[in-house]
């Protein structure tokens, strides 16, 4: 099969990790007899430097014309002082909205080989954990009304959390469908003891739950969820939550796997086109040093094959190569911990994983 993939390398370590994942995709295509065509487009700080805008029109058009999008990361200190709507991060929100990617899947599992890197007590993770965070991605406070105004105490700023029933219904359906393919358990996270938007969220999730009697559905308040994730992560199968709660909790769930450098994500809408990216950022402190862990981006590429192209065997081959890399004791700088193992560079990791495909 032939697919067109838009590449948004972005900033910081973005270019290095995307290039690594492209190598892996090319090898996978060769091995299984497919053809992937790659077209790069500018995004984030790199786009600001070249065009003055974080998300050029051409990038949006290119992504809309592609079968799928692979993104590295955006942002860095160079652009930190720009006004909110001109920052590199604005491009990320813009492309998610332009492609109508309302679902963000963020799997977090403990690799057996990395159990010593897990910061939780061994008895807590004795049986491992494997959860799928389903984060709403194009609504809530990220996209609500915001501004500055004069208030009771002088200048003030506000952002608004707003969810329509429709937005909650469609993300809840994704969560239940996802759970059906896993352990049939959904935990919906909200702050319904305080927020009106959460009360609508909770009621709507329960309405949708009626169509999935085979799936267990429970609610959890977000503060409790933050605690439960480190207390007993194995209780979670599918987690469904709002844009901001999902942003925060997915970083937490990544850290308990050992390193945020391992976690991929898939952003999906109602078509097959998705955008795939590591959940970590642009790590400007190590950019250009050939040190970054490309595994989260490689696993994102695997998710692209699985979710956008229905190439399950091919995705399995990439996942198995990553497993073998870890099982054989190879480590990246973020994963060495106290092991005393010499970390591999980005290009060395890529070569090893290529060898295992």
Closest contact distance (angstroms) between CB of 324 and ligand IPM is: 28
Nearer to ligand IPM, 67 or 247 (CB): 247
89 binds, among Mg ion, ligand IPM, none (CB under 5 to 8 A by kind): ligand IPM
Chain residue whose CB lies nearest ligand IPM: 89
Q: Which of 89, 117, 247, 314 binds Mg ion (CB under 5 A)?
A: 247
Q: Which of 237, 247, 314, 334 binds ligand IPM (CB under 6 A)?
A: 247
Closest CA to 245 of 105, 135, 146, 349: 135
191 is catalytic: yes
Contact predicate 304/268, CB 8 Å:
no
142 is catalytic: yes
Nearer to Mg ion, 11 or 247 (CB): 247
d(CA 109, CA 103): 19
Contact predicate 111/293, CB 8 Å:
no
298 binds, among Mg ion, ligand IPM, none (CB under 5 to 8 A by kind): none
Nearer to ligand IPM, 89 or 117 (CB): 89
d(CA 121, CA 125): 7
The set of residues, in sequence order, having a beta carbon less than 8 Å from that of 96 and lying 6+ positions away, is 137, 138, 267, 275
CA 306, 236, 324 angle in degrees (round to 5)? 45
219 is catalytic: no
Does 296 contact ligand IPM by CB under 6 A?
Answer: no
Chain residue whose CB lies nearest Mg ion: 247
Closest contact distance (angstroms) between CB of 246 and ligand IPM is: 8
Does 89 contact ligand IPM by CB under 6 A?
Answer: yes
Nearer to ligand IPM, 189 or 357 (CB): 189
Does 171 contact ligand IPM by CB under 6 A?
Answer: no
Backbone angles phi, psi at 34, to 5 degrees: -115, 170
Buried b (16+ CB within 10 A) or exposed e, 186-200: bbbbbbbeebebbeb
d(CA 21, CA 99): 22
d(CA 267, CA 136): 9
Does 18 contact ligand IPM by CB under 6 A?
Answer: no
251 is catalytic: yes
d(CA 341, CA 266): 31
Binders of ligand IPM in range 323-342 (CB under 6 A): none
Nearer to Mg ion, 135 or 291 (CB): 135
Q: Which of 47, 92, 168, 249 binds ligand IPM (CB under 6 A)?
A: 92
Bridge partners, residue 344, by sequence:
332
Annotated catalytic residue, options 27, 90, 191, 291: 191
223 is catalytic: yes
Closest CA to 319 of 160, 327, 277: 327
- Tokens 């009360």 belong to which residue? 199
117 binds, among Mg ion, ligand IPM, none (CB under 5 to 8 A by kind): none
- What is the C-alpha end-to-end distance of the chain, expressed in Å? 19
One symbol per residue from 255 to 284: x for binding ligand IPM (CB under 6 A), - otherwise; what is it?
------------------------x-----
Residue numbers annotated as active site: 142, 191, 223, 247, 251
The site for Mg ion (CB under 5 A) is made up of 247
Binding positions for ligand IPM, rule: CB under 6 A: 89, 92, 247, 279
């Amino acid at each position: 099969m032939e697919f067109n993939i838009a590449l948004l390398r972005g900033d910081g370590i973005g270019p290095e990790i995307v290039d690594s994942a492209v190598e892996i995709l090319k090898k996978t295509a060769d091995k299984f007899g497919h053809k992937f065509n790659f077209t790069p487009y500018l995004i984030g700080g790199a786009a600001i430097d070249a065009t003055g805008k974080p998300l050029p029109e051409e990038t949006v058009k290119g992504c809309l014309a592609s079968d799928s999008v692979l993104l590295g990361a955006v942002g860095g200190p160079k652009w930190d002082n720009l006004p909110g709507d001109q920052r590199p991060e604005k491009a990320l929100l813009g492309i998610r909205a332009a492609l109508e990617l309302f679902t963000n899947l963020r799997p977090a599992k403990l690799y057996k080989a990395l159990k010593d890197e897990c910061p939780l007590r061994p008895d807590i993770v004795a049986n491992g954990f494997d959860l799928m965070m389903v984060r709403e991605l194009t609504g809530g406070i990220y996209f609500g009304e915001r501004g500055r105004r004069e208030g009771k105490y002088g200048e003030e700023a506000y952002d608004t959390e707003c969810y329509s029933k429709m937005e909650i219904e469609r993300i809840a359906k994704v969560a239940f469908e996802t759970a059906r393919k896993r352990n049939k358990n959904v935990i919906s996270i909200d702050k319904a003891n305080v927020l009106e938007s959460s009360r609508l969220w909770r009621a709507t999730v329960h309405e949708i739950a009626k169509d999935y009697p085979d799936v267990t559905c429970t609610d959890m308040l977000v503060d409790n969820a933050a605690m439960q994730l480190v207390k007993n992560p194995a209780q979670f199968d599918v987690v469904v939550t709002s844009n901001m709660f999902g942003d925060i909790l997915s970083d937490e769930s990544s850290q308990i796997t050992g390193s945020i450098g391992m976690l991929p994500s898939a952003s999906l809408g109602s078509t097959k086109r998705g955008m795939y990216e590591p959940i970590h950022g642009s790590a400007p402190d190590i950019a250009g040093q050939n040190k970054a862990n490309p595994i989260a981006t490689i696993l994102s590429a695997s998710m692209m094959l699985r979710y956008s192209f229905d190439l399950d065997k091919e995705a399995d081959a990439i996942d198995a190569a990553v497993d073998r890399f870890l099982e054989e004791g190879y480590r990246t700088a973020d994963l060495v911990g106290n092991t005393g193992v010499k970390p591999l560079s980005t290009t060395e990791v890529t070569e090893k994983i290529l060898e295992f495909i």
